[in-house]
Amino acid sequence: MEVRIPGDKSISQRALIFAALADGRSRLQGLLDGGDPASTAEALRMLGAEIPPLGADISVGGRGLRGLLPPSDALDLRNSGTGARLLLGVLAGQSFDAVVTGDDSLRRRPMGRITRPLTDMGARFQALGEEGRLPIRVSGGELSPLSYELPVASAQLKSALLLAGLVGGVAVELVEPGRSRDHTERLLAGLGVPVLSGGQGDRWGVALTEPPESLSPLDMIVPGDFSSAAFFILLGLLRSGTEPLILENVGLNPTRTGLLPTLERMGGRVEAEELREAGAGGEVSGTLVVAPSELQGCDVGGQEIPGLIDEVPILAVGAARARGRTRITGAGELRVKETDRIKAMVENLRAVGVEAEELEDGLEVEGTDRPLKGDVRSHHDHRIAMAFGVLGSLAGNEIRIDDLEVASVSFPGFWGQLARVSGTCQEPRP
């Protein structure tokens, strides 16, 4: 059985931002038409970029690196942490003031780790509510070069600083404690902008040493989102029978696919086929063939975590159906996502009958083959809702989820796909 995966959420938002900063018109194919890219697109429209309604093949008119226009109102990124944080970097190098805000969930998420190094570069920020949280007024202007050691391996922080260097025309040298996602570096390299990156002992360095005066338009195909594919990877491993599940056009960037070696260690059978490059972004995509497998619990942590941080919720669901105990550590970053994902996952696993323990930076899950039943609170977090949707679709389980619509943030049509593959259907609760 085949499943089509929607466009990558992280890459879609980056592609829109780079297209808005380019000189001329960019062609973007395969964009995710979901809540987060839509929020980022609307913010960029308010900054003067010509962006039509999102679709499978669109043309975007850019304003140039320093040609964005002052917005007439606050830029509301709703629930998009990627959009908000990356735009803080872009706005740091513009010659006007702008206010960035979001929904209740996004306003609870920390922004200080972004604004502190941008302040060192010369940007000014004014908290309009709680310090270190949105809404924030950004006063951009002339920036200075930056040499900075990131406190955590974070693609959003790294990308915001690289974008500030790009629009500000200044060098940026960064060191991460581990290697994070490299979509921004690949986009820059695909546009002819030299970016140096490589290991520095147990750390990872990235440098933008010669920012260009202008940016060429993009012609890019966005691959399917690996984080969205992860839900069907686990479904394919956990479902009964022998028929493999085939996931087409999945992005296989090695900084995103840390889940695959972990699942292999647990006994999962997943094969990657038909690998190909997806255009100017330098992204690799392919087809995944997933066979039903007997999973064994294991320890997950350390340098594995940056490459699978968004997949921890669905990995925990897989652990609930594995033999033995799975221990996940080093994932403290999950406490400041759309919700405290560690706490929410443990509470929900217990609510449906799984033994789980909350750790400071992760969780432990004891696998079981008992039927699982109960009510799940998604906390308006798309990954939690979809993870328990997969668990609820397995034979013998009866799990009700309070908010199904939140899945549209990253995977429009998820519940229909899940129903088609599993033969079960979640219905919204009144």
Cα separation, 267 vs 126, in Å, equals 50
The whole-angstrom distance between residue 294's C-alpha and the CA centroid of its chain comes to 28
Report which DSSP code applies to 214. Answer: S
Please write down the HEC assignment for all residues of 86-112: HHHHHHHCCCCEEEEECCHHHHCCCCH
The C-alpha angle 312, 292, 285, rounded to 5 degrees, equals 60
For residue 145, cis peptide bond before it (omega within 30 degrees of 0): no
Cα separation, 341 vs 346, in Å, equals 8
- Return the number of other C-beta atoms located less than 10 Å from residue 424's C-beta: 14
State the catalytic residue, choosing from 182, 225, 310, 381: 310
Concerning whether 310 is annotated as a catalytic residue, the answer is yes
DSSP string computed for 356-389: EEEETTEEEEE---S--EEEE--TT-HHHHHHHH
Token pair 């975007």 in the structure block, residue? 60
Token pair 């290697």 in the structure block, residue? 179
Axis crossing angle, helix 35-46 with helix 81-92, rounded to the nearest 10: 20
Question: Burial, 101: exposed, middle or buried (Cβ in 10 Å; 0-12, 13-18, 19+)?
Answer: buried
At 207, give phi and psi (nearest 5°). -140, 130
Cα separation, 391 vs 411, in Å, equals 17
Question: Burial, 228: exposed, middle or buried (Cβ in 10 Å; 0-12, 13-18, 19+)?
Answer: buried
Residues in the chain, overall count: 430
Let me know: does 6 contact 225? Beta carbons within 8 Å. Answer: yes
Q: Which of 130, 213, 206 is nearest to 168 (CA)?
A: 213
Give me the active site residues, please. 310
